């Protein structure tokens, strides 16, 4: 039985596109980057911790396979997590304006017998955003709860001048890498 260790509606939607039935595990795993921890290592670790915490919830099921994932926006080695409030969201968008940033999305799949992981790194270039555009976007509420204060599948798609990598990875779950891992576990 496949389980998704995530509260993200986007990850649920993306995983469903692969045609697998899955259960949901709601967890509260702290997402705190350690001092000196490289951004990609941080994203990998959080994805692994989410999957591991999910496996603990279904420990009595020897057929359980748990998927954990984490996605972060990185600019100049700074990880842009979810904004604390509207002012924080606007500040993030100002920093991303006119620049190219990386989106790192890690997927961990664990079962009682094994573990595997994949990482997708995408580059996203934003147009120059004026204050009125940022204010309108933030006022719409879409940036809240989103890494980097934007949702590429929403109104922020209009900010993107170039994407190199995985669109689904930027959304929160890289489907190619996820499908490969599921096949490794006999679920594809």
What angle do helix axes 175-184 and 9-17 make, rounded to 10 degrees? Answer: 60
- The CA distance from 56 to 188, in Å, is 24
Selected catalytic residue, list 70, 85, 88, 130: 70
Q: Which of 23, 25, 41, 21 is nearest to 33 (CA)?
A: 41
Determine contact, residues 169/177, Cβ cutoff 8 Å: yes
CA 9, 68, 14, 165 dihedral sign is positive
Which parts of 18-64 fold into alpha helices (H)? Answer: 39-57
Q: Is 70 a catalytic residue?
A: yes
Q: How far is CA 138 from the centre of its chain?
A: 20
Catalytic residues: 70
């Amino acid at each position: 039985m496949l389980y998704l260790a995530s509260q993200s509606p986007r990850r649920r939607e993306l995983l469903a596109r692969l045609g697998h039935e899955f259960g949901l595990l709601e967890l509260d795993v702290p997402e705190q980057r350690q001092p000196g921890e490289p951004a990609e290592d941080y994203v990998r670790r959080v994805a692994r911790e989410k999957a591991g915490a999910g496996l603990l919830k279904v420990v009595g099921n020897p057929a359980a396979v748990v998927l954990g994932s984490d996605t972060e926006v990185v600019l100049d080695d700074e990880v842009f997590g979810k904004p604390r409030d509207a002012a924080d969201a606007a500040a993030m968008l100002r920093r991303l304006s006119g620049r190219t940033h990386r989106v790192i999305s890690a997927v961990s799949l664990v079962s009682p017998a094994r573990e595997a992981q994949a990482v997708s790194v995408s580059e996203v270039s934003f147009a120059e955003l004026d204050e009125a555009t940022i204010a309108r976007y933030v006022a719409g509420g879409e940036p809240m709860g989103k890494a980097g204060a934007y949702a590429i599948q929403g109104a922020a798609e209009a900010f993107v001048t170039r994407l190199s990598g995985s669109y689904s990875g930027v959304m929160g779950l890289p489907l190619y890498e996820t499908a490969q891992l599921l096949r490794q576990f006999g679920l594809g």
